[in-house]
């Protein structure tokens, strides 16, 4: 049996279906019975039209009844009757035959000329069946009415499967009697877990806080990129405290019916109060928590009414009501200020991408049930996955396991993790053939990136250089930071610009031409230079000013529409500074590649032959070509 149940389900669905099926079967029975039972006097014998004509011409029929295309009556000649289907001689016998459609009024004239009495009835079946068809609609109407009233009663008793139960909460209630997730099952996130410990302590012993007048935050907002473990952390908080945990996505509040969202909010808090102490978790709260007044609906917008009800419920908490509301979002910038103020969401906990130590712990958690080779070094893998979230790391481990199965291995080794990392970062291999010229261009392009990065100080170490088509690219040069960075000096960023433009510079040096392969490099370099000038104050001519130009969402990396806060003259000056930075970086790359053109050719030749080179192979080729110079590069 599942350890969770929905308040939106339930009810007496089984009994309702039984009633409906019973009515259908009863109706079918009545129909068949009515068709099989003849309501006329005695048993009627079906005869052919030819037999009917013979009896009519013989004068054995004195009266008939016509109903549609059916004609019925009584034979009066015992001699003729004894000839019909081997019947014993009798003085009279009822019959029934069917007239062909082309008879028309001619048959009536013939009846009149032979002195046959004619009675005409409207078509529509037997009298019994007509009565049944008259009664059936009323039976169905009464049945539907009884069904609706039963469902309404069930809705009032807490069932949410009823016809009119749109306004009841769809939140899932997780069973606290079964083992759940606790903080021990959540790798990393130590700072967030520390902040949530007091929430756990309050839920376990609220009297301790009330005795000295302390108030625990009513609402906790978890802010972070997708996949960083916000939902998992909320569940772990409930598991640690051992209290009921209601979970719902904010989008489930909104329906096409007006007022449904507000009704569901009321019902959700009602359920939480009935099971207190408890935790309510609302995922993606920005679906209903966006700033009010920004849409076309105004105050009558259904989403805004839902938000108003949520604000009212949070304000309606009585002191120490033992209910904690936890919400998660990756768009804190769009939330309504009234939702974020103290008294509602008092505490904001940022859950950022994990550092390498946390990544190592996460990898170990997801590898518990995997068969790993002894050579697998989780620390090395963790350091080689900067920027990955917990969800990314889980996917990485799974891809490595799939790679091992594909190759028929008994255990997952380091090579499987490397292949999985390439797939996650750059995409799957493309079975694509391209010309020798395109292969040479790609090889020199990637060799240019690698050589300039190797020669410049303060750049991230090379991890791998490849000209194997993956995803949307024909080749890639991967860099792995030696440590997680939180600050970016100008010298480091200028070197990154030079490395980004080195591929295009190598193409220009060797082929006296440039290609469209540098499109992504130019895009990234231009975006970085724009931030340096317009946000980070790294241009002497623009000065220490932040104009918000090129500003991105801190988590999603998407531009936010903001009002321009600078003049056209300042925009032109920023454009010039961005251009000068890029030209300076390209000039540095050109100078380094011209000086070490022979090294560039050796590195490109090795790539053409091997298609992929790791950091040690790149270093060995460059050192050998340069005459065994000191390893890597200068420290300054």
Q: Give the three-class secondary structure for 101.
A: coil
- Please give the Cα distance from 47 to 145 (Å, whole number): 47
CB-based contacts of 20: which residues, under 8 Å, 6+ apart?
A: 147
Q: Which helix (H) or strand (E) holds 580?
A: helix 568-595
Q: Give the three-class secondary structure for 410.
A: coil
Q: Which burial class, exposed, middle or buried, applies to 597 when counting CB atoms under 10 A from its CB (0-12, 13-18, 19+)? A: middle
Query: How would you label 78-97 residue by residue, b for 16+ Cβ within 10 Å and e otherwise?
Result: eebbeebeeeeeeeebebbb
Other Cβ atoms less than 10 A from the Cβ of 495: the count is: 21
Task: Using the Cα atoms of residue 425, residue 427, residue 430 and residue 434 in order, give the sign of their dihedral.
Answer: negative
- Please give the Cα distance from 409 to 401 (Å, whole number): 9
Question: Tokens for 425?
Answer: 């970062």
Owner of token pair 């995922």: 283
Pairing status of strand 462-466 against strand 61-67? unpaired
HSE-CB of 191 using CA atoms within 13 angstroms? 10
Q: Give the three-class secondary structure for 61.
A: strand
Crossing angle of helices 414-426 and 390-406, in 10° steps, is: 120
- Please give the Cα distance from 521 to 454 (Å, whole number): 18
Task: Compute the residue count for the chain.
Answer: 636
Q: Which helix (H) or strand (E) holds 505?
A: helix 490-511
Other Cβ atoms less than 10 A from the Cβ of 43: the count is: 8
| Structure letter (DSSP) for residue 291 | P
- Please give the Cα distance from 153 to 11 (Å, whole number): 10
- Please give the Cα distance from 19 to 332 (Å, whole number): 51
Question: Tokens for 356?
Answer: 């390498």
Q: Give the three-class secondary structure for 488.
A: coil
Q: Are 561 and 470 in contact (CB under 8 A)?
A: no
**For the chain, first and last CA: distance in Å?**
64
Instruction: Name the active-site residue from 252, 446, 507, 530.
Output: 446
Q: Are 51 and 84 in contact (CB under 8 A)?
A: yes
Which residue from 468, 460, 464 is spatially nearest to 477, judged by alpha carbons? 464
CB-based contacts of 296: which residues, under 8 Å, 6+ apart?
A: none
Is 446 one of the catalytic residues? yes
- Known catalytic residues are 446
């Amino acid at each position: 049996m599942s350890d969770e149940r929905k308040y939106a389900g339930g009810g007496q669905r089984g009994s309702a279906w039984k009633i409906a099926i019973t009515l259908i079967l009863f109706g079918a029975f009545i129909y068949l019975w009515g068709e099989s039972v003849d309501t006329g006097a005695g048993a009627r014998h079906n005869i052919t039209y030819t037999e009917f004509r013979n009896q009519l011409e013989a004068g054995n029929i004195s009266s008939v009844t016509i109903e549609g295309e059916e004609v019925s009556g009584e034979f009066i000649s015992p001699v003729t009757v004894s000839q019909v289907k081997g019947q014993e001689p009798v003085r009279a016998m009822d019959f029934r035959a069917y007239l062909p459609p082309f008879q028309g009024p001619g048959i009536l004239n013939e009846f009149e000329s032979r002195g046959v009495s004619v009675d005409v009835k409207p078509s529509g079946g037997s009298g019994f069946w007509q009565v049944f068809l008259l009664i059936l609609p009323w039976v169905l109407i009464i049945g539907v009415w009884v069904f609706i009233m039963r469902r309404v009663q069930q809705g009032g008793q807490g069932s949410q499967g009823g016809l009119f139960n749109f306004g009841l909460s769809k939140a899932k209630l997780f069973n606290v009697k079964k083992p759940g997730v606790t903080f021990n099952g959540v790798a990393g996130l130590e700072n967030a877990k520390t902040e949530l410990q007091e929430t756990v302590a309050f839920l376990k012993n609220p009297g301790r806080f009330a005795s000295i007048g302390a108030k625990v935050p009513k609402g906790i907002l978890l802010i972070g990129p997708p996949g960083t473990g916000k939902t998992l952390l909320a569940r772990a908080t409930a598991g640690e405290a051992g209290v009921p945990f209601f979970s719902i996505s904010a989008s489930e509040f909104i329906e096409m019916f007006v007022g449904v969202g507000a009704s569901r909010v009321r019902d959700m808090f009602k359920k939480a109060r009935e099971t207190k102490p408890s935790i309510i978790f609302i995922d993606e709260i920005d679906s209903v928590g966006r700033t009010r007044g920004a849409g076309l609906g105004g105050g009558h917008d259904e989403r805004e009414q839902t938000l108003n009800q949520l604000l009212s419920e949070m304000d309606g908490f009585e002191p120490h009501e033992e209910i904690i509301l936890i919400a998660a979002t990756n768009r804190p910038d769009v939330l309504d200020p009234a939702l974020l103020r103290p008294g509602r969401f008092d505490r904001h906990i940022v859950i950022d991408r994990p550092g390498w130590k946390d990544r190592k712990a996460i990898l170990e958690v997801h590898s518990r049930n995997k068969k790993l080779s002894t050579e697998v070094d989780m620390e090395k893998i963790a350091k080689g996955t900067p920027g990955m979230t917990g969800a990314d790391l889980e996917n990485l481990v799974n891809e490595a396991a799939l790679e091992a199965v594909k190759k028929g291995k008994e255990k997952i080794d380091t090579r499987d993790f490397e292949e999985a990392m390439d797939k996650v970062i750059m995409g799957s291999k493309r079975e694509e053939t391209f010309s020798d010229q395109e292969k040479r261009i790609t090889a020199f392009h990637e060799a240019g990136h690698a050589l300039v990065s190797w020669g410049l100080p303060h750049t991230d170490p090379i991890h791998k250089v490849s000209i194997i088509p993956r995803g949307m690219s024909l080749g890639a040069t991967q860099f792995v930071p030696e440590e997680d960075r939180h600050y970016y000096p100008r010298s480091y960023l200028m070197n990154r610009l030079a490395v980004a433009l080195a591929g295009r510079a190598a193409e220009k040096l060797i082929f006296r031409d440039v290609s469209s392969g540098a499109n992504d490099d130019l895009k990234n370099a231009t975006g970085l230079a724009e931030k340096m000038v317009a946000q980070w104050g790294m241009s002497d001519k623009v000065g220490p000013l932040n104009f918000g130009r090129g500003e991105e969402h801190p988590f999603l990396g998407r531009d936010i529409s903001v009002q321009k806060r600078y003049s056209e003259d300042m925009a032109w000056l920023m454009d010039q500074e961005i251009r000068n930075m890029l030209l300076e970086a390209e000039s540095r790359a050109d100078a380094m590649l011209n000086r070490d053109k022979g090294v560039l050719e050796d590195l490109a030749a090795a790539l053409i032959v091997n298609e992929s080179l790791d950091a040690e192979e790149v270093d060995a080729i460059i050192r050998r070509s340069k005459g065994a110079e000191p390893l890597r590069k200068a420290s300054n």
